[in-house]
A and B are shown apart, each in its own frame.
Chain A
Amino acid sequence: MSGAPPDGASPGTPEEAAAAAAEEVVRGTGGTHHTGVLSGIGRRIGRRLLSSLPAILGVVVLTFLLMRVLPGDPAVFFASGPSAGQEEIEALRRDLGLDKPIPVQLLRYLGDVATGNLGRSLTTGQPVVTDLRQRLPASLELTLCALLIALSLAVPLGILAALRPGSPVDHAVRFVCTLGVCVPTFVSGLLLIYVFYYLLGWAPDPTGRIDIFAATPPDITGFLLVDFAITGNWEGWWSAAMQLLLPACTMALFVLAPLARMTRASMLAVLGSDFVRTARSVGLPRWRVVVVYALRNALLPVLTIAGIVFSTMLGANVLVEKVFSWPGVASYALDALLSSDYAPVQGFVLLMASIFVLVNLLVDILYGIADPRVSME
C-alpha cells in the first residue's frame, strides 16, 4: 500500500504530453534569445540617442540664455585694463559678436556648435574644445576611480548590512554612510590631506595629477594611469596613482551612502523573494544563494543608481578639484563662470549633458544584457 495516487492520476503519458503541448503558451522562442539581444540593443541605442537630442538642444539654449541674463560683461572684464576706454570695450564687444541682438547670437552659436566649434575661452586663449579635451580625462579618471572605490566599498557593506538587518554591522554601515553624506567634500578632503599628508606623510603633495618634478607621459589617452601603463613606466604610474588616491577617496566617501543604501535595500528585497527561497529549498550553498541568486538580481537597481551617481560626480566634484588643485573640467567651468567667460561655461554644460545621455545609455545597455526580461521588448 504505497502512496499510489487515487483515480485521475493514471500515468497516461501520451495524453499528458498532448495536454502539456496544448497548455504551453510560447511567449518567445528560447533559442533565439541571444541573436535577438544584439539587434535589440542596436535599435535601442539609436532610439535613445535620437530621443535625447531635444533635451540636449534645450540645455544648450537654456544655458546660452542664462549666461546672457547673468550680470557681468565679458567685454569689460577682458578689456586691457581698468583704464581701457569706451572705444576699446566697444571694439572688443563687436569682436565677440556681443553687439548683435540675442536671437542672432543664439543662432550663430547653434551654428557653431553644429560644426563642432564651441568658441574660444578668453581666460586661456584657447578654443574651448581643446581646453575640454585636455581637462576631461583628468575629471573622468578621478571620477571613475572614485566610483570604483565607492562601489567596491558600498556593495560589500550593503550586502553585510542586508544579511543581518538590525545588527551592529547594519548600524555601523548606516553610521559610515551618514557620515559620508554629512561631511562636505572640502572638509573631508582637507581632513584627509591633514592626516595622510601633513601628519603621516604617506600621501604626496595635494597639487594636481602628477608630481611637479616627475616627467609626464606622452599624451596618448589623457588618462595618466593608462598612459603610464602603456609606456611601461610603472614608477610614474605609482606616483600618479598615489596622487589620485586622496581626491578619489574624498569623492568616494561622499557617494558611498546612496550606493550602499541602495544595495542594502535591494538585497533585502531580493533575499525575501520567492526564488531565493527556492534556491535554499534545493540545498544550494549559502554563498551561492547570496552571490548568484540574490546579488545578481539585487545589483540591477544599483547599476541605475551608479549611472546617476557617476554623472552627478563628474560635474559636482568642483570642490574636490579645487581642494586638490586637480585640473579638471568642473574647476575650469567655475573659473570661467567667475570671469563671465561665456564659451567655456556653455561648452561645459553641453559636455555634461552629452555625458549624462551617454552614461544613461550605457546603463541601459548593461541592463539589457544583465536582465533578459528587458531585452524582450
Chain B
Amino acid sequence: MTGMPPRAGSAPPLLRIEDLRVAFSTRNGVVEALHGVSLDLAAGRTLGLVGESGSGKSVTAYAVTRLLDRAGRVTGGRVLWQGRDITRAGEGELRALRGAAMSMIFQNPRAALNPIRSVGAQIADAIRAHRDMPMREARVRALDLLRAVLIRDPEHRLESYPHELSGGMCQRVMIAMAIACEPELLIADEPTTGLDVTTQKTVMDLLARITAERGMAMILITHDLGLAAQYCGDIAVMEKGLLVEQGPSATLFRAPHHPYTRRLIAASPTPRSTIADLARAAGEPPPPAVAAPRPPLPAGTPPLLELQHVVKDFGGPARAVDDVSFRIAPGGSLGLVGESGSGKSTLSRIICRLLDRTSGEVLFDGENIGGIPARDFHRSPFRREIQIVFQDPNDSLNPRFSAFDSIAHPLRRLEGLRDGAALRERVVAAAARCGLSADLLGRFPHQLSGGQKARVGIARAIAVRPRLLVLDEPTAALDVSVQATVLYLLDRLRREDGMAFLFVSHDLNVVRLMCEQTVVLRAGRVVEAGPSEALFESPRDPYTRALLAAIPHFDPAPELQAAG
C-alpha cells in the first residue's frame, strides 16, 4: 500500500496505468485480453477510449475498478490511484474507492438498475454506501441528485421503478448514482449505445456539464469516434489489447499516425463520406460503377413498391403508423429513419408482409399485396420477391443450421429446390457473391465471426433473387470496420442485381451513404421525404434538423476525405 515514490516536482496523476495485463481463464486455456497498457489521466480531464469490440477498452476500465468478472485476473502491471498502488488492494479498500473516488455508468441503463427496487432507494443506497446518513436524509439527497440530472417531476420519480422509465431516464438515474458521493473519476462504458440520437445528445451534454461543473475526470469508453471527438479532450485508441495511439482529440483525428487509427477513421461514416471511402476502408478497389450515378429510369416507369395511406393501429392511444405514403423505383433505394417508437420497424414489417396493415394499400409491381393476410403471404409468389436482412446477425440465424442450411433454406422453401447439385451450386454462388468462401459453409453460427454471420444473413436474403430487399438495421450490431465492408457489399449487390433497397436505420450517416431517397418518420407520420442529398444538405423540418444536429461528428484528416 505504499505508493510509488513521488516524482520530483510534479504531483502524481489522478490515475496512472502502467503496463497493465489482464488474462481470462476460458475453456480453451488462459487468454490474455490486455497485453500491457499504460496511460495517465490528470484530474478533471476527459479521456475517450475508443476501439472495436475485443480491443480491451472495457477490460481496461473494469481492471481499474476491479469489477472484472470471475474469470478475469490482473496478471501484470500496476494501477495507481493518486500515486497509490491499488492493483493488489483488498476488497474492503476497493469498496471504499468505488463510488466515492471512482464510479461507473454502464451500457443498457435499464438492466443496470435493480428492477425491483425504486430508483430513489437505489440512489439512497449509493449515498449510504459511503456516508453515515439515515435513510430519510439520504432520500432528500437523492431528490437533489435527481434534480441535478434534470429529471422532470423528481418527487414522483423517487418512487418509480426502472421499468417505468425510458432508457434515457434510466441513464440519468445511473448518473445520479454515480455522482452521489462526488467521485473524482467517472468511467462511462458505452453510456449511450442503444439510445436514440437525440437522447444520446441530451445524456452526453448532461454528463459533460456535470463532470465539468464538479471538476471530475471522465473516461468515456465508446466505439463511436464522433462521440469521443465531441466530448473528450484526449483520445486513446485501442486495438486487440494494446493502446496503439494517444493524443488530444483536436489533432488525433486530423493527423492519425497508426494504420489502425486511419482504418477506423476511414470506416466511420461521416456526413461527407462516400461509398468509395467505405471501399477503401474495406480494402477493396472501388469499381467504376460506383463513380457513375445510376442512369435515370425512363419517365413513366411504374414504381416497384408503392405505399398509399398505410395505417397501422395496435389499439393504443396513438397509431403506430399513421397515413404513410411513398414509392420505391425498381433498383432504387429508400432509407427509413426515425427514433424508437417512430413506427419504422412496424412499417418495414408491413412491407415485408409479416404484419397486416389496418388500412391503406401496399402495391408491389402494381399488385395489391397489402390485401394478402400476413399469415398466408409465405404461399404467395411475391414472398420470394421481397426478402429481409435482419438486425442482429446472431439471433437471426438458427443456431442448429449450418451456414449452408441457412442459405439453402429459402431456396428449398420458396423455389422447391431439393437436395442436389443444383441447390449446392446456388448456395455456393450466393455465398461467393457475399464474400463467403465455400469452406465456411459447413460452419455453425457460433463458429463464425459477426461479419461472417452478417454475410450469411445477406446471402440467405439474395439467394432467391428478390427484387426488393428490406434491410432492418443490418449493421447496427457490427463494428465500424465490419460495417464498412458490409455496406460496401450491399451497395455492390444492389448495383449489380438491380435490386431495390428499403433501408431502415437510426444511423443517419449510413442512410445518407446508402440511399437515394430518405423518409423521416416521427410518431408514425412522415415528417419529411425527398432525395437524400437535398434532405441532408438542407433539411426543411425542424425535427429533421434536430436529428441531424444530434449526430456526433468529427472532422477527419482532409487527405482521408478527399482521395477517392
**Chain A residues near B (Cβ < 8 Å):** 2-9, 11-13, 16-17, 19-31, 33, 272-275, 277-286, 288, 292-293, 296-297, 300, 370-373, 376
Asked if B159 is an interface residue, CB under 8 A from chain A, the answer is yes
Q: List 7 A-B contacts (CB under 8 A).
A: A3-B44, A3-B217, A8-B230, A20-B150, A30-B160, A275-B111, A284-B125
Q: Considering only CB atoms, which chain B residue lies closest to A17 in the complex? A: B150
Taking the closest CB of chain B, its distance from the CB of A280, in whole angstroms, is 6
Q: Which residues of B contact A283 (CB under 8 A)?
A: 95-100, 126, 129-130, 181
List chain B residues, Cβ under 8 A from A281: 65, 67, 98-99, 103-104, 106, 178
Q: A6-B231, A16-B202, A275-B111 are in contact. List 15 more A-B contacts (CB 8 A).
A: A3-B46, A9-B230, A20-B151, A20-B202, A27-B165, A28-B160, A274-B112, A280-B98, A282-B98, A284-B95, A284-B129, A285-B129, A286-B95, A297-B114, A300-B116
Pair B65/A27 contact, Cβ less than 8 Å: no
Q: Taking CB as reference atom, which chain A residue is nearest B125?
A: A284
Bound-complex Cα distance A370 to B125 (A): 19
Which residues of chain B (215-259) have a CB below 8 Å from chain A? 215-218, 229-233, 249-250
Q: Which of the segments B203-211, B358-366, B490-498 contacts the partner chain?
A: B203-211
- Given A2-B215, A27-B164, also A282-B103 (CB < 8 A): yes
Q: By the criterion CB–CB under 8 Å, are B112 and A30 in contact?
A: no
Cβ contact within 8 Å between A280 and B100 = no
In the complex, the answer to whether A278 meets B129 with C-beta atoms within 8 Å is no
Check A30/B156 contact, CB under 8 A, given A283-B96, A284-B126: yes
With A9-B205, A283-B97, A283-B98 as given contacts, are A297 and B106 in contact (CB-CB < 8 Å)? no
Residues in B neighbouring A279, C-beta threshold 8 A:
114, 125
Closest 5 CB pairs of A and B: A30-B160, A283-B99, A9-B208, A5-B208, A283-B98
Question: Interface residue count for B (Cβ, 8 Å)?
Answer: 76
Question: Do the beta carbons of A274 and B108 come within 8 Å of each other?
Answer: yes
A373 near B249 (CB under 8 angstroms)?
no
Chain B residues engaging chain A, CB cutoff 8 angstroms = 44-46, 65, 67, 69, 91, 95-100, 103-104, 106, 108, 111-118, 125-126, 129-130, 150-152, 156-161, 163-166, 168-169, 172, 174, 177-178, 180-181, 196, 198-199, 201-202, 204-206, 208-209, 211-213, 215-218, 229-233, 249-250, 341, 552
Q: A20 CA to B195 CA in the complex, in Å?
A: 13
A282: which of B69, B99, B156 is its contact (CB, 8 Å)?
B99
- In the bound complex, what is the Cα–Cα distance between A77 and B473 (angstroms)? 75
* Distance, CA A275 to CA B230, complexed state (A): 29
Contact B249 A6 (CB under 8 A): yes
Q: Contacts A23-B202, A25-B166, A281-B98 hold; do A11 and B209 have CB atoms under 8 A apart?
A: yes
A372 contacts across to B, CB distance below 8 A: 115-116, 161, 163
How many Å from the CB of B202 to the closest CB on chain A? 4
Does B198 lie within 8 Å of A275, measured CB to CB? Answer: no
Does the CB pair B126–A282 fall under 8 Å? yes
- Which residues of chain B come closer than 8 Å to A19, judged between CB atoms? 198, 201-202
- A11's nearest neighbour on chain B, judged by CB, is B209
Cα-based distance from A164 to B125 in the complex (angstroms)? 25
Cβ contacts under 8 Å, A371 to chain B: 115-116
Among candidates B111, B116, B150, B181, residue contacting A296 with C-beta atoms closer than 8 Å: B116
Q: How far is the CB of A201 from chain B (nearest CB, A)?
A: 48
A20-B152, A23-B202 are known contacts. Are A3 and B103 too (CB-CB below 8 A)?
Answer: no
* B66 (CB) vs chain A CBs: closest residue: A280
Q: Which residues of B contact A8 (CB under 8 A)?
A: 201, 205, 230-231, 552
Separation in Å of the B22 CB from the closest CB of chain A?
A: 17
Given A9-B204, A282-B129, A284-B129: A28 touches B164 (CB 8 Å cut-off): yes
The 8 Å CB contact of B178, one of A28, A274, A282, A293, is A282
Q: Contact: A282 with B177, CB < 8 Å?
A: yes
Residue of A nearest to B199 (CB): A23
- In the complex, how many angstroms separate the beta carbon of A300 from the nearest chain B beta carbon? 8
Cβ B164 vs Cβ A3 within 8 A: no
Residue of A23, A27, A29, A300 with highest tally of chain B CB at under 10 A: A23
- Known interface pairs A281-B99, A282-B99. Does A4 touch B177 (Cβ–Cβ under 8 Å)? no
Q: Are A33 and B112 closer than 8 Å at their CB atoms?
A: no
Contact of B161 among A17, A20, A33 (CB under 8 A): A33
- With A16-B206, A297-B114 in contact, is A286–B212 under 8 Å at CB? no
Minimum CB–CB distance from B123 to chain A (whole Å) comes to: 9
Given A3-B212, A282-B125, residue A24 in contact with residue B152 (CB < 8 A) = yes
Which B residues are in CB contact (< 8 Å) with A273? 111
Contact of A373 among B112, B151, B161, B231 (CB under 8 A): B161
